[in-house]
Amino acid sequence: MRFLADPARVSPYRPGERSEDVMARYGLDEVVKLASNEYPLPPLPGVMEKVVAAAARLNRYPDASCGALRDALGRHHGVPPERVAVGNGSLELIMLLADALLAPGVAAVFPEPSFALYRRLCDLHRAEAVAVPLGADRCVDLDAMAAAIGPATAVVIVCNPNNPTGTYVPAAAIAAFCDKVPDDVLVIVDEAYNEFVTASDSQDTVELARSRENVCLTRTFSKIHGLCALRVGYAVASETVVEAIDTFRQPFNVNLVAQEAALESLRHQDEVERRRRLTAALRADLTARLEALGYTVLPSEANFVLVDLSGVAAPGDDVCERLTALGAIVRDGAALGLPGWARVSVGTGDEIEFFLERLAQLAASGD
């Protein structure tokens, strides 16, 4: 077979383990999954009713243009619907832009460690991956990224808050960075965790997408809206960028149920704000309790924290796998380019208690 992608060179994305698989492997009756940054509560009010109603029309194709959702998102962000693209999760939109921009001899600049799919997209398209290390504070180093842009650069990706560190770069810094980027280089600001940000400037980046032809924001309904199983995300960008996305996307890329659920969820911004405050409080509590136990935790503006667990057990021990064996599923930092660290999603209060109890149990067993 003459596959363009070499399986030996392009590794498949490996998501967090399913709770059912962990329970079966270790014979557990209870597990808590804090590895995939899912929102732990059900969808927002009214969404399930829309989902059930939409299910009666499963024999019909959805609106191929996602027109109603584009209109609603345009009103929400103060842009014409022609400047909104909708995709099967925000990741699909980034993948479609990679299809439009990346090829052999072309380069993409992105931070690392960051979302692992950025490098994978370069590998898939045989493009040059220019990975820029994070700064000493584990934040995206925008000055270093600007310096890394060269004649072959077609796209720059900034993940903010950054996954897996949770660190946040102010909107003014991103605007200053965009000033340094050539007009023919696309800047993708991946804001999958934007709704969790409590900083007062969290929405200021929308103005960049309104005013600049080469800035594209991507966001998702998979996180604070609790719709990750339906896969619906969106981009705010210039009409030129949106047209490129629409050219490369498949027909009917966002299903009927996802469109209806997202439309209803978008109407409940008061509940989104409540969830933001709740997550921030739980995140602060989790951070404070881990720090009180002597662990280093990075400051986060997302719905997860990154914690250094290297001192929990003897060197070489797989701390995250041992936690998983106790029923607390967290994301191993080694798989994210941060060995010794673990990314822990902010779950419910009970889920956080479960994790902390299992961590204490593991730490005690290593004494």
The Cα–Cα gap between 63 and 143 comes to: 42
Q: Where are the beta strands (DSSP E) in 179-244?
A: 186-190, 215-220, 233-236
For residue 10, is it within any domain?
no
Co-location of 259 and 283 in the same domain: no
Question: Which letter does DSSP use for residue 250 in this model?
Answer: P
Report how many domains make up the chain: 2
Co-location of 134 and 256 in the same domain: yes
Co-location of 124 and 97 in the same domain: yes
User: Residue 21: its pLDDT value, please?
Assistant: 87
Tens digit of pLDDT for each residue in 4-17? Answer: 666 666 666 677 77
Co-location of 281 and 137 in the same domain: no
Tens digit of pLDDT for each residue in 240-293? Answer: 999 999 999 999 999 999 999 999 999 999 999 999 999 999 999 999 999 999
Co-location of 77 and 218 in the same domain: yes
The Cα–Cα gap between 316 and 331 comes to: 17
Question: Which letter does DSSP use for residue 181 in this model?
Answer: S
Co-location of 145 and 231 in the same domain: yes
* Residue where a domain stops, chosen among 219, 238, 267: 267
Range of the domain at 280: 19-42+270-362
Chain centroid, CA 243 distance in Å: 23
User: Residue 364: its pLDDT value, please?
Assistant: 84
**DSSP run (H or E) holding 281:** helix 269-292
Tens digit of pLDDT for each residue in 287-326? Answer: 999 999 999 999 999 999 999 998 776 544 588 999 999 9
Give the number of other Cβ atoms within 10 Å of residue 279's Cβ.
24
Structure tokens at 141: 């180093």
Angle made by CA atoms 284, 287, 291, in degrees to the nearest 5: 140
> Percentage of the chain surpassing pLDDT 70?
95
The pTM for the full model equals 0.93
